[in-house]
Amino acid sequence: MAETARFLLDESLLPKAWYNVNADMPVPPSPVLHPGTMEPVTPDFLSVLFPMNIVMQEVTPERWVEIPEPVREIYRLWRPTPMCRALRLEKALGTPAHIYYKNESVSPVGSHKPNTAVPQAFYNKEAGTKALTTETGAGQWGSALAMACSFFGLDLEIFMVKVSYDQKPYRRYIMENFGAQVFASPTDRTQFGRKLRAESPDSPGSLGIAISEAVEVAATSGGAKKYSLGSVLGHVLMHQTVIGLEALLQMEMAGEYPDVVIACAGGGSNFAGFAFPFVHRNLTEGKKTRIVAVEPASCPTLTKGRYTYDYGDTAAMAPIVKMHTLGHTFVPPGIHAGGLRYHGMAPSVSALVAHGDVEARSAQQLETFDAAVQFSKAEGIIPAPESAHAIRAAIDEALRCKETGEKKVIAFNLSGHGHFDMTAYQSYHAGHLQDFEYPDHAVEEAMTHLPKVPGG
């Protein structure tokens, strides 16, 4: 095989359909429950938050869902994205492994998030929606949805986790540039936000809190506003599979197939987007690729959380889903991987981990930034702190190959660049970052607040 660094697809090979993992799940998905009645939710209940065309995507059993041409037309602004072989990183590590990465940082806002933001804005526009509400952690999702809403003429209100609002002002400026309103959560704009601010004036916020505020605004708007989510739910993960579907074609171009597929995991969207098409091959064609999800040790949802029913938000207003969770009362430490601070995990990702189809591991903050700097010095790309978790795991796999002499093929998703995360890098280089291992006793305490689901 020729040692080529970049594998580029022609626009004609842009996927025409998304992949829905529910069609191949080895265990049936657990029902989503109403937060009040504990009964399975109905499409009518979900339609308070989402337009019916998105609700139907959430429940469809179809394996392939056609990508509308107006969405593909916008995708072509940056898709297909490159698949790169990290030849310089391989040389720096002295490993016999071949390392590939899918470069989602080339999107207009620098991450994978527009892959679902664009279709969600499209479907809302098609349904007659005038305005959306949402939350954002590190700001990548907020930036993507702000761009998508500007494309389709929708108003947008964003609740940004306060610690990220302060740490990452330039992401906020991007959102505002596209016309969105951005507020540091918890705010005084919602009943739940005012309650939290009274109880804890210095709260750093959390993704669960921001979700609660965005859901409250949509649910109390009388239908004037709908809610849009950047991760966790099935339709979101499905939209992201354009990443992995392109990667399958690009690995064919490279003449190789991955032994290990790696992505960071917070709510599950970029992980699922890259990994699920490879999971599909494992489940339907007998492939044996190891699938690895990497999360922060300070927010160890998959590695320390319990697989059980929990609320999707802190205020217990969102539907109840079965997932790996640290408890909806979880308030994470102010680590710089802001996009990986959600208390739960996508139900489909959780189910695959519980069934043994996906491995989960955690990484500490310092070793993650070590890997990020090593990657940037070799490949010239400064990765987002979230993406650096996948890089850490890929480097560790490559170093094991160095020890054993195995020539494994390792592929990971570079979910975004870190150009707006330089305060994190500054803190790292100044020696101000610290590792934090989320304590077991805190997880156990949070489990006492789980909803009492019959038979759950």
Q: What is the pLDDT of residues 94-132, one digit of tens each?
A: 999 999 999 999 999 999 999 999 999 999 999 999 999
Q: How confident is the model at residue 2 (pLDDT cuts 50, 70, 90)?
A: very low
Query: What is the mean predicted confidence (pLDDT) over 413-442?
Result: 92
- Helix/strand number for the chain, H first, E second: 19, 15
Angle between helices 269-285 and 347-355 (to 10 degrees): 50
Which amino acid, one-letter code, is at 380?
G
For residues 279 and 20, is the Cβ–Cβ distance under 8 A?
no
Task: Supply the pLDDT for residue 369.
Answer: 97
Domain locations in the chain as residue ranges: 6-14+68-110+235-447
DSSP summary character for residue 31? P
**C-alpha distances in angstroms, 205 versus 136, 183, 264, 393?**
11, 12, 22, 28
Report the C-alpha gap between 100 and 82 in whole angstroms: 10
Helix, strand, or coil here: 417?
strand
Main-chain phi, psi angles of 29, to 5 degrees? -65, 140
**C-alpha distances in angstroms, 129 versus 54, 84, 176, 216, 338?**
12, 39, 20, 17, 29
Q: Which CATH number fits domain 6-14+68-110+235-447: 3.40.50.970, 3.40.50.1240, 3.40.50.1100, 3.20.20.70?
A: 3.40.50.1100
> For the whole model, what pTM was predicted?
0.95
Q: How confident is the model at residue 3 (pLDDT cuts 50, 70, 90)?
A: confident
Report the C-alpha gap between 162 and 247 in whole angstroms: 35
DSSP summary character for residue 314? T
Main-chain phi, psi angles of 408, to 5 degrees? -75, 155
Q: For residue 341, what are its two tokens?
A: 């601070």
Q: How confident is the model at residue 1 (pLDDT cuts 50, 70, 90)?
A: very low
Task: Supply the pLDDT for residue 456.
Answer: 65
> Does residue 59 register a pLDDT over 70?
yes
Model confidence over 138-166: pLDDT tens digits?
889 999 999 999 999 999 999 999 988 98
> Does residue 219 register a pLDDT over 50?
yes
> Does residue 343 register a pLDDT over 50?
yes
Which amino acid, one-letter code, is at 156?
L
